[in-house]
Chains A and B, each alone.
Chain A
Amino acid sequence: MSDQPAARPQMPAPFRGLAGVAAPALSDDAREPAGAERSDRIGAPGARPAATVARRGEDLSGAGGHGAEGRAESGLEAELHSMLTRLAEPEAERSAGPAGRAVAAVPPLGLVSGVLQEIDETVMARRLVLTNRAGGVLALEVGNRRLLEVDGRRMAGRGEGGANGHTSGQAGRGSGPSGEGPGLASLNLTFAGGQDLADLRQALVRFCAEGGVRVERHPSASTRTLEQTGVAVSTLALAWAKGTEAEEGGEGLLPALFDAASGDVRAAVLMSGEAVLDTAGLPSLVEALSALLATDTPQRLRNEAATGPEAIALSGDRRLLFMAFDGADAVALAAAPDREPALRALWLAHRAEHG
Chain B
Amino acid sequence: MAALGRRCARGLAMTIAKRMTDLLDNAPGCQCLVVGDVLTATVLRGLGRHGQRQEDFDAILAGATRCLGQAGAAALAALDGTGSGPGNGPGNGPGPEPSAPRRATLFVGDAMHVFVRADDPGGAPDAGLDEGDEGGDADGTEVICAVCDADTDLDALVPTLASLIHDEGPSRDAAQRGHHV
A interface residue numbers (CB < 8 A to B): 284-285, 288-289, 291-292, 295, 297-298, 300-301, 303, 305-306, 308, 310-319, 321, 323, 334, 340-341, 344, 347-348, 351
Contacts and interface: CB of A to CB of B under 8 A. Distances in A.
Q: Closest 10 CB pairs between A and B?
A: A300-B71, A314-B101, A311-B107, A313-B105, A292-B78, A316-B76, A319-B79, A315-B103, A301-B71, A310-B108
Contact of A316 (B59, B101, B150, B154): B101
B80 interface: yes
A315 B66 contact: no
B105 A334 contact: no
Contact of A315 (B74, B101, B151, B155): B101
Contact of B75 (A298, A303, A341, A348): A298
Nearest to A307: B109
B74 A348 contact: no
A306 to B, nearest CB: 5
Task: Give the interface size bracket for B toward A.
Answer: 20 to 34
Contacts of A315: 101-104
B75 A292 contact: yes
B76 A344 contact: no
Given A310-B106, A313-B106, A316-B99, 10 more contacts: A288-B79, A292-B78, A301-B71, A306-B109, A308-B109, A312-B107, A313-B105, A314-B101, A319-B80, A334-B79
A338 to B, nearest CB: 10
Interface in B90-116: 98-109
A289 B78 CA distance: 8
A312 B104 contact: yes
A291 B78 contact: yes
B67 interface: yes
A310 B102 contact: no
B140 interface: no
B126 to A, nearest CB: 16
A301 B79 contact: no
A303 B63 CA distance: 7
B81 interface: yes
B72 interface: yes
Contacts of B105: 311-313, 340, 344
Contacts of B79: 285, 288-289, 292, 319, 321, 334
A315 B150 CA distance: 18
Interface string B62-86: 0100110001101110111100000
B162 to A, nearest CB: 13
B89 to A, nearest CB: 12
A235 to B, nearest CB: 25
Contacts of B103: 315
A340 B28 CA distance: 21
Contacts of A319: 76, 79-80, 99
Nearest to A348: B150
B75 A321 contact: yes
B109 A297 contact: no
B17 to A, nearest CB: 27
Contact of A348 (B59, B76, B101, B151): B151
Contacts of B101: 314-316
29 contacts: A285-B79, A288-B78, A288-B81, A289-B78, A295-B78, A297-B71, A300-B71, A301-B67, A301-B71, A301-B72, A306-B108, A310-B106, A311-B105, A311-B107, A312-B67, A312-B106, A312-B107, A313-B106, A314-B67, A314-B101, A316-B100, A317-B102, A319-B76, A319-B79, A319-B80, A319-B99, A323-B75, A344-B107, A347-B107
A311 B99 CA distance: 20
Contacts of B100: 316
Interface string B20-63: 00000000000000000000000000000000000000010001
Contacts of A316: 76, 99-102
A291 B67 CA distance: 18
Contacts of B108: 303, 306, 308, 310
A323 B66 CA distance: 14
B157 to A, nearest CB: 12
Contact of B104 (A313, A334, A348): A313
Given A300-B66, A344-B105, A314 B81 contact: no
